[in-house]
Structure 1
Amino acid sequence: MSPSLTFRPPTTDDAALLLAWRRLPEIAAQSFSDVPDDIDRQRAWIERSNARADYVHRIIQVDGVDVGYGSITVTHAEWRIGTIGVYMGDRRGRTGIGALNFAPMLNHCFHTLGLRKLVNQIFDSNPRVLKGQALLGYRHVGVLKDHALKDGTPRDVHLFEMRAADWAAVRHRFGLFRDMDANVTG
């Protein structure tokens, strides 16, 4: 039996869970921003995020258990370009489902939101995610050398892009044609 993958909107009641995940060393090391250990600030961030028109986020669930977090940010509305971010706070989200958690997110980006392109930035120290981008159909654009500062140390950042047409050409491989809200997509 295959695991059931679902998504639900975060609420302020999820602040402690998301804060704990965001502060895990393996997640914090790959995040572009640092998150202070402040539950009230986390609740306020969830409220602000829920109110934004250019930001969609969900808690990822496997068999009804919260395992991770995914977000879509529209970075240029007129050009219909965005970026996605995902982290798995629970090991059940890192194994078994694997890349399948991205299919509903990509369907949401290209079908529900009508984006025409995604551009993702990944630290060079995240080889599993770097490899996963290609498996999903992203094109490696290049490397920005010493681009970001993390803990005061310059870090290389890999750029990836995917067009709606690129996703349309590979999404059949994943067999998931619903978005994050379980809507059937083109």
Structure 2
Amino acid sequence: MDVKIETSRLTLRPWGADDIEQLTLGLNDLKLARWLAFVPHPYLTSHARDWIKRCQEISNAGPRPTAYEFAVDLRPERLVIGGVSLNKIDWKAGTGGGGIWIADRYQGHGYGREAFEAKVRFAFCELGLTKLVNGYFDGNENSWAMQRKLGYRRVGEVTSRCMADGRQTIEHVTTLLRSDWEDREGQTCNRA
């Protein structure tokens, strides 16, 4: 099930074989990978190839997949600048999670928030989910600032290990309820 989401500057689309080089370049950066739980360092072409294969298998898993993994393309260049996930979908509970990464040289331009906000809208309006569970590693204040602006709340802490550098750290768990998101000015799903 190939889903494509358009924003004013970005396209969120399924990963493909043509993305291996840009995916490898983006994630083979320890400054970035240290904020991501499941990204090894160094990040090799074989990791990118395996990731894309896994994403393609997930997207073909049937009418109700448990994950959507998107490449974040900067338009009109069709240049992959990051990735955003909507995963761990529990259709019965109406919940999902997932994270985001934006390559270092494209940070600070609002692309992360634009992509993450598009994911939130897709989760609530297109899929009908009612709660998103996310998080961020201790010290990643940029991630927390972005989530907070979208209405997320911190609800707990867990101990996590970063695959890239092996350190054990605190992961702050955050949630966003669809009702809270809809209560924010200008946030509606325009449901019939």
Structure 2 residue aligned with 1:116, among 100, 112, 130? 130
Shift of 1:97: 4.0
2:34 is the alignment partner of 1:29: yes
The CA distance in 2 between the partners of 1:155 and 1:55, in whole Å, is 25
Alignment deviations for residues 60-112 of structure 1 (CA, whole Å, 9 cap, x no partner)? 23332322211110343321211121111153353144522222111111111
Alignment deviations for residues 36-66 of structure 1 (CA, whole Å, 9 cap, x no partner)? 5432342232122122121112222333232
The 5 A counterparts of 1:161-172 are: 161-170=175-184, 172=186
2:71 is the alignment partner of 1:59: yes
2:108 counterpart letter in structure 1: R
The percent of aligned pairs where both chains have the same amino acid is 26
Q: Taking structure 1 as the reference length, what is the TM-score of the superposition?
A: 0.80
The 5 A counterparts of 1:1-186 are: 4-35=9-40, 37-52=43-58, 53-65=65-77, 66=79, 67-89=81-103, 91-92=105-106, 94-97=108-111, 99-144=113-158, 147-150=159-162, 151-170=165-184, 172=186, 186=191
Q: Taking structure 2 as the reference length, what is the TM-score of the superposition?
A: 0.78
How many residues align structurally? 173
Contact 2:16 2:52 in 1 (8 A): yes
Alignment deviations for residues 119-141 of structure 1 (CA, whole Å, 9 cap, x no partner)? 11210120111122111101111
Helix, strand or coil at the partner of 1:128: helix
Change in 2 beyond 3 A, CA 1:29/1:152: closer
Change in 2 beyond 3 A, CA 1:26/1:152: closer
The CA distance in 1 between the partners of 2:190 and 2:27, in whole Å, is 30
The CA distance in 1 between the partners of 2:94 and 2:145, in whole Å, is 25
The CA distance in 1 between the partners of 2:84 and 2:185, in whole Å, is 18
The CA distance in 1 between the partners of 2:27 and 2:190, in whole Å, is 30
Shift of 1:152: 4.0
- Segments of 5+ residues of structure 1 without an aligned counterpart are 178-183
